């Protein structure tokens, strides 16, 4: 049959396949071999970061006008997917750089973008995102960190918790209340630098997974910053935070897809080599059914993620629905696929000699951060009930 161009929408464009191939080559050579060590040492993967930086894959989303690679949302999702396939901790380098800088990209002045984005694009600095607090996780509007205007400056006081790459990043998007008592309508966003006086960090959290990506509290004790570090308008921070998450939940979906793919790849290879009862374990129907279910669900999760990424690039009106749906579905799939991968390896899967137990531990966080999957289901339901999505 003759090729029909209208069906190209269902095939990954050549430029994006090239991005996948290039990223996989770097990750197979430089990232995957260090993944187990990164997990065991619970240390930031500096060598993997150097490899990603050398290949311009550490912050691929930043536009060329800011000296970035200028890779679109779909391409960035593919980069994160491929890095996560090799090492979930390392995938948080491009993912969190996008999370931290997205508020600037969406709402900051040109001066603020020009000051900070090139430094991230070059790999000179990373950018983290400070939204959650000890008593304000899903309830973002309940934050207590405050920013008080004082002439040409703001003075920040408070604490943020669960901050990815805290201490490693040079720059932080920080959300704080500028109008206490106003809830979500009184929140603003700022750029805070690690070197600002009064900024400090808590001890690294001891986590189940993604151990190579440090998670710490960030404390602000009379941190005085220039007023021109305000991102967007005062009291528009909540809207900026929610718009950011609409875009970056796609990156978590991509991370989940990558983790699941890594686990499926390993399990499929293992069961073909493992012999029991005189034949390959892969010949048993029960094993085949587990692989088939994993492959089907992974394929569906990938397609949802790519659709959401395309909508992110276009900033479609239904991005909120598709971003939440992709994140929720893909992370649930990742948890199921990695758990089944451990089962397929039997006792070996439960040991650190094999990578699937690490992948299972890493997968769990994708159901929690950037909005728990319970919150995602609330978001999705509201979109449906308010008629904001056409299916």
Each residue's pLDDT tens digit, 196-207: 999 999 999 999
Domains of the chain in sequence order: 9-122 (1.10.540.10), 127-234 (2.40.110.10), 238-385 (1.20.140.10)
- Please report, for residues 27, 173, 243, 353, 387, the alpha-carbon distance to residue 58 in angstroms, rounded to integers and kept in the order given: 12, 18, 22, 28, 38
Please determine, for residue 45, whether its predicted confidence score (pLDDT) is greater than 50: yes
pLDDT at 5: 55
Each residue's pLDDT tens digit, 144-185: 999 999 999 999 999 999 999 999 999 999 999 999 889 999
Please determine, for residue 2, whether its predicted confidence score (pLDDT) is greater than 60: no
pLDDT at 201: 98
Among the listed residues 115, 214, 101, the one whose alpha carbon sits nearest the alpha carbon of residue 168? 214
Please determine, for residue 67, whether its predicted confidence score (pLDDT) is greater than 90: yes
Torsion angle defined by CA atoms of residues 375, 380, 386 and 390, in that order, rounded to the nearest 10 degrees: 170
pLDDT at 135: 86
Contact in structure between 91 and 80 (CB atoms under 8 Å):
yes
Contact in structure between 330 and 257 (CB atoms under 8 Å):
yes
Q: 98 pLDDT band (50/70/90 cuts)?
A: very high
Contact in structure between 177 and 120 (CB atoms under 8 Å):
no
pLDDT at 156: 98
Contact in structure between 146 and 157 (CB atoms under 8 Å):
yes
What average pLDDT score do residues 291-300 get?
Answer: 98
Each residue's pLDDT tens digit, 47-56: 999 999 999 9
What average pLDDT score do residues 129-148 get?
Answer: 92
pLDDT at 391: 87
Please determine, for residue 214, whether its predicted confidence score (pLDDT) is greater than 50: yes
pTM metric for this prediction: 0.96
pLDDT at 141: 85
**Mean pLDDT over the full length of the chain:** 96
Contact in structure between 104 and 61 (CB atoms under 8 Å):
no
Contact in structure between 162 and 192 (CB atoms under 8 Å):
no
pLDDT > 90: percent of the chain: 93
Tell me how far apart the terminal alpha carbons of the chain are, to the nearest angstrom: 30
Among the listed residues 67, 57, 217, 205, the one whose alpha carbon sits nearest the alpha carbon of residue 128? 217
In whole angstroms, give the CA distance from residue 263 to residue 259: 6
Q: Where are the beta strands (DSSP E) in the chain?
A: 127-130, 146-150, 153-164, 171-177, 187-193, 199-201, 215-226, 230-231, 275-276, 279-280
In whole angstroms, give the CA distance from residue 110 to residue 148: 24
What average pLDDT score do residues 284-301 get?
Answer: 98
370 is catalytic: yes
What average pLDDT score do residues 286-292 get?
Answer: 98
Each residue's pLDDT tens digit, 302-351: 999 999 999 999 999 999 999 999 999 999 999 999 999 999 999 999 99
Q: 6 pLDDT band (50/70/90 cuts)?
A: low
pLDDT at 1: 46
Each residue's pLDDT tens digit, 108-129: 999 999 999 999 999 999 999 9
DSSP, collapsed to helix, strand or coil, labels residue 29 as helix
Contact in structure between 249 and 370 (CB atoms under 8 Å):
yes
pLDDT at 9: 58
pLDDT at 177: 96
Each residue's pLDDT tens digit, 260-274: 999 999 999 999 999
Each residue's pLDDT tens digit, 351-361: 999 999 999 99
Pairing, β 230-231 against β 275-276: unpaired
81, 217, 357, 370: the catalytic one is 370
Classify the C-alpha dihedral 216-91-10-373 as positive or negative: negative
Which is higher by pLDDT, 45 or 137? 45
Q: Where are the beta strands (DSSP E) in 198-304?
A: 199-201, 215-226, 230-231, 275-276, 279-280
- Please report, for residues 259, 332, 379, the alpha-carbon distance to residue 213 in angstroms, rounded to integers and kept in the order given: 15, 21, 28
Strand partners, 130: 174
- Count the helix, strand and coil residues of the chain and give each as a percent rounded to the nearest 5: 60, 15, 25
In whole angstroms, give the CA distance from residue 69 to residue 76: 10
The pair phi, psi for residue 188, each rounded to 5°, is -130, 165
């Amino acid at each position: 049959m003759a090729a029909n161009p209208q069906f190209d929408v269902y095939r990954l464009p050549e430029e994006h396949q090239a991005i996948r191939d290039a990223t996989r080559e770097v990750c197979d050579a430089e990232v995957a071999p260090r993944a187990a060590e990164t997990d065991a040492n619970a240390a930031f993967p500096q060598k993997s970061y150097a490899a990603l930086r050398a290949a311009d894959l550490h912050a691929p989303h930043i536009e060329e006008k800011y000296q970035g690679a200028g890779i679109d949302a779909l391409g960035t999702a593919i980069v994160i997917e491929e890095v996560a396939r090799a090492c979930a901790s390392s995938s948080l380098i491009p993912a969190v750089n996008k999370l931290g800088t997205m508020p600037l990209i969406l709402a900051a002045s040109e001066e603020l973008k020009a000051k900070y984005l090139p430094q991230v694009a070059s790999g000179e600095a990373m950018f983290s995102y400070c939204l959650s607090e000890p008593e304000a996780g899903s309830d973002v509007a309940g934050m207590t960190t405050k920013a008080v205007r004082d002439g040409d400056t703001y003075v920040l006081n408070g604490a943020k918790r669960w901050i990815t790459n805290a201490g490693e990043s040079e720059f932080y998007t920080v959300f704080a209340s500028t109008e206490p008592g106003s809830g979500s309508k009184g929140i603003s966003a700022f750029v805070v630098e690690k070197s600002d006086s009064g900024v400090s960090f808590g001890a690294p959290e001891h986590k189940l997974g993604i151990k190579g990506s440090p998670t710490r509290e960030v404390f602000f004790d009379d941190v005085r910053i220039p007023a021109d570090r305000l991102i967007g308008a005062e009291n528009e921070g909540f809207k900026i935070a929610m718009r950011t998450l609409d875009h970056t939940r796609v990156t978590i979906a991509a991370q989940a897809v990558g983790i699941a793919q890594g686990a499926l790849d390993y399990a499929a290879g293992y069961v073909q080599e493992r012999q029991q009862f005189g034949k390959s374990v892969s010949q048993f129907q029960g094993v085949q059914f587990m692989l088939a279910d994993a492959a089907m669900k992974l394929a569906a999760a990938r397609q949802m993620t790519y659709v959401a990424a395309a909508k992110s690039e276009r900033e479609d009106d239904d991005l909120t629905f598709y971003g939440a749906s992709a994140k929720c579905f893909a992370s649930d799939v990742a948890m199921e696929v990695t758990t089944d991968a451990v089962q397929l390896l039997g006792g070996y899967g439960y040991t650190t000699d094999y990578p699937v137990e690490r992948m299972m531990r890493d997968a769990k966080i994708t159901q929690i951060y950037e909005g728990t999957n319970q919150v995602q289901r609330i978001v999705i339901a509201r979109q449906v009930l308010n008629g904001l999505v056409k299916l």
